[in-house]
Amino acid sequence: MYRILEKTQFSEKVFKFRIEAPEMAKHAHAGQFLMVRPNECGERVPFTFADWNAEEGWVEFIFMVVGKTTTMLSRYEEGDSLLDVTGPLGQPTEMGPGTWCVIGGGVGLAIAFPVARQLVETGHEVHAIMGARTKDLLLLEDQFRSILPEDHVHITTDDGSYGEKGVVTAPLERLLEAKAVDQVFCVGPVPMMKFSTLTAEKFDCPITASLNPIMVDGTGMCGCCRVEIAGETKFACVDGPDFDATKVDWDDLRARQAAYRTEEGQSLKAYEEANCACQR
């Protein structure tokens, strides 16, 4: 059992859990993830580490309420326990030399933050582009600001309710044009990653994406999370989740992400009608 030490709510649908997991905290790296099975009848869901502390023995992850499992998780409180938490899984993000631009969209900001922080800690100059649909969905602004110079934090919202109106590719294009960055890391919804990649490619700038396909075991045994990279099949859980974004088949990723849309709807409906085996 993995105790929830702290629960934080960022917006109506976005939460953070701090979980007691000393061994995991000792071995976690930026870019890696964990898998949660909340209870006996639960499914296994991957979440990227948002933070961890080896001395205090905890790890954190951020989630947005989108379906049954995340709805149920949002009702867990401090002191409750998750039945199974497995990790760290996947490869740590590789952090080569040069100036970096870290792009996070929506909940992807939670994954982008530890990458940005580790880059800063290892002596890199870092720009962050923070994207959200609206101001309320913008995560971790204070945390990003606490590690980066003011003019290195670029904020965009789709509706213009905060920061610059529009999407993350506008500030990215400006940075690339000014030759201010050597390397891009992006994480967020598929369209955001796809268009960031097209922008980076235009300037011949290397770009890495952290992919988020559906997973079952997370240890390379099933291949549910497979993605096509330069025409080759790779397993995101053991070969990734980070890949050279210019080589990713985005349509394939999107199609596979959507494979269980109908079932996801059924599951949430059954939960709301209290028909699941271990109702919470």
Taking only Cα atoms into account, the Rg of the chain, rounded to an integer number of angstroms, comes to 18
Closer CB to other proteins, residue 180 or residue 221? 221
Please tell me the count of residues contacting other proteins according to CB under 8 A.
46
Closer CB to other proteins, residue 190 or residue 200? 190
The residue within the footprint of other proteins, chosen from 30, 62, 89, 193 (CB under 8 A), is: 89
Closer CB to other proteins, residue 158 or residue 252? 252
Closer CB to other proteins, residue 200 or residue 236? 236
Smallest distance, other proteins to C-beta of residue 128, A: 27
Q: Which amino acid is at 89?
A: L
Smallest distance, other proteins to C-beta of residue 78, A: 21
Work out whether 280 is an interface residue with other proteins (CB under 8 A).
Answer: no
Give a three-class secondary structure readout of the chain: CEEEEEEEECCCCEEEEEEECHHHHHHCCCCCEEEEECCCCCCCEEEEEEEEECCCCEEEEEEECCCHHHHHHHCCCCCCEECEEEEEECCCCCCCCCCEEEEEECCHHHHHHHHHHHHHHCCCCEEEEEEECCHHHCCCHHHHHHHCCHHHEEEEECCCCCCEECCCHHHHHHHHHCCCCCEEEEECCHHHHHHHHHHHHHCCCCEEEECCCCCCCCCCCCCCCEEEECCEEEEHHHHCCEEEHHHECHHHHHHHHCCCHHHHHHHHHHHHCCCCCCCC
Smallest distance, other proteins to C-beta of residue 268, A: 9
Q: Are residues 81 and 73 in contact, defined by beta-carbon separation less than 8 angstroms?
A: no
Smallest distance, other proteins to C-beta of residue 23, A: 6
Work out whether 180 is an interface residue with other proteins (CB under 8 A).
Answer: no
Q: Which amino acid is at 257?
A: Q
Residues 4-23 that bind other proteins (CB under 8 A): 23
Instruction: Tell me, residue by residue from 206 to 245, as one string, x for binding to other proteins by CB under 8 A and - for no binding.
Output: ----------xx-xxxxxx-xxx----x----x-------
46: β partners: 35
Work out whether 125 is an interface residue with other proteins (CB under 8 A).
Answer: no
Smallest distance, other proteins to C-beta of residue 186, A: 22
Instruction: Tell me, residue by residue from 42 to 81, as one string, x for binding to other proteins by CB under 8 A and - for no binding.
Output: xxx-----------------------xx------------
Report the interface residues with other proteins, using CB under 8 A.
23-24, 27, 32, 37, 41-44, 68-69, 83-89, 216-217, 219-224, 226-228, 233, 238, 252, 255-256, 258-260, 263-264, 266-267, 270-271, 275-277
